[in-house]
C-alpha cells in the first residue's frame, strides 16, 4: 500500500510514515502494532533478544482497522489526579473501536479525546495509570460528576458541580485527603466528561 494509505489506516500524517521509512522517527515502535494490524498480521509479543524484533506472528483473522477502528486524539500529556499535567508532549492518536464510538456513544472521533491519568486523588473511581475516553460535547456540570479540566497550570480530572446559583464551580476529589477548590467559570476550562476508561490488570 502507499504511504498515504498506511498513514490513513494507522491514524497519522503521511510525513510520519515517510519519516519511519527514512529512519528519522525515534518513537516508531509506538506505531508497530497498528502497522502490523494494518498489514493484517498482528504482532503477539516483542522478543528483544531476537533479530526479529517483531516477534512471532501467529495465524490471526485479518481485521481492517479502517473498518473496525477509528483514530482518536490522545492528550499529549497526563491529566493529574493530584498534581496537574503540563500539556507537553508529541501529538498522538490511538485506535478506538468504531462500534464503541459510533454505536454506543453516538459520537464522531473528533468529539472524543483520550487522556492518561496519574495520581490518587480520584480513587477509587479512577486509578493511577487509567486511560479515560472524554466526550468533549458534554461540558456542563448541571449533572455533577467527573470532568477533564484545564487550569492555568495544567490538566486534571476532578469532580465538578455548580454552586451559588451557577456562579461558581466546586472542584473536588474522591480521595478525601485532597482539599476542594471553589472557582469561577473563567478560572477553569471544562474539556469534557469521561464516558469510558481502560485499566491495566
What confidence tier does 84 reach under pLDDT thresholds 50, 70, 90?
low
For every residue of the chain, which 3-state class applies, written as one string? CCHHHHHHHHCCCHHHHHHHHCCCCCCHHHHHHHHHHHCCCCCCCCCCCCCCCCCCCCCCCCCCHHHHEEEEEEEEEEEECCCCECCCCCCEEEEEEHHHHHHHCCCCHHHEEEEEEECCCCCCCCCCCCEEEEECCCCCCCCCEEEEEEECCEEEEEEEEEECCCCEEEEECCCCCCCCEEECHHHCEEEEEEEEEECCC
Residues 139-190 have pLDDT tens digits of: 999 999 999 999 888 899 999 999 999 999 999 999 999 999 999 999 999 9
Helical axes 3-10 vs 14-21, angle rounded to 10°: 110
pLDDT at 48: 42
Task: Give the pLDDT mean for 17-30.
Answer: 73
Give Cβ neighbours of residue 2 (< 8 Å, ≥ 6 apart): none
pLDDT at 186: 93
Look at residue 5 and tell me whether its pLDDT is greater than 90.
no
Domains of the chain with bracketed CATH: 1-63 (no CATH), 67-201 (2.10.109.10)
The residue ranking higher by pLDDT, 45 or 104, is 104
Instruction: Tell me the CB-side half-sphere exposure of residue 6, using CA atoms within 13 A.
Output: 20
Task: Give the pLDDT mean for 62-86.
Answer: 71
- pTM, 2 dp: 0.64
Amino acid at each position: 500500500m502507499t504511504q498515504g494509505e498506511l498513514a490513513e489506516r494507522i491514524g497519522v500524517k503521511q510525513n510520519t510514515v515517510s519519516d519511519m521509512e527514512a529512519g528519522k522517527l525515534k518513537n516508531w515502535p509506538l506505531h508497530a502494532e497498528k502497522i502490523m494490524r494494518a498489514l493484517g498480521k498482528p504482532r503477539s509479543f516483542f522478543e528483544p533478544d531476537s533479530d526479529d524484533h517483531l516477534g512471532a506472528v501467529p495465524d490471526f483473522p485479518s481485521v481492517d482497522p479502517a473498518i473496525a477502528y477509528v483514530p482518536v486524539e490522545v492528550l499529549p500529556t497526563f491529566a493529574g489526579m493530584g498534581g496537574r499535567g503540563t500539556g507537553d508532549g508529541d501529538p498522538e492518536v490511538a485506535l478506538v473501536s468504531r462500534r464503541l464510538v459510533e454505536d454506543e456513544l453516538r459520537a464522531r472521533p473528533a468529539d472524543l479525546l483520550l487522556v492518561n491519568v496519574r495520581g490518587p486523588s480520584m480513587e477509587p473511581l479512577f486509578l493511577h495509570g487509567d486511560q479515560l475516553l472524554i466526550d468533549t460535547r458534554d461540558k456542563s456540570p448541571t449533572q455533577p460528576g467527573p470532568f477533564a479540566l484545564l487550569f492555568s497550570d495544567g490538566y486534571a480530572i476532578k469532580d465538578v458541580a455548580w454552586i451559588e446559583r451557577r456562579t461558581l464551580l466546586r472542584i473536588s476529589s474522591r480521595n478525601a485527603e485532597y482539599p476542594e477548590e471553589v472557582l469561577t467559570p473563567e478560572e477553569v476550562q471544562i474539556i469534557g466528561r469521561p464516558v469510558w476508561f481502560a485499566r491495566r490488570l
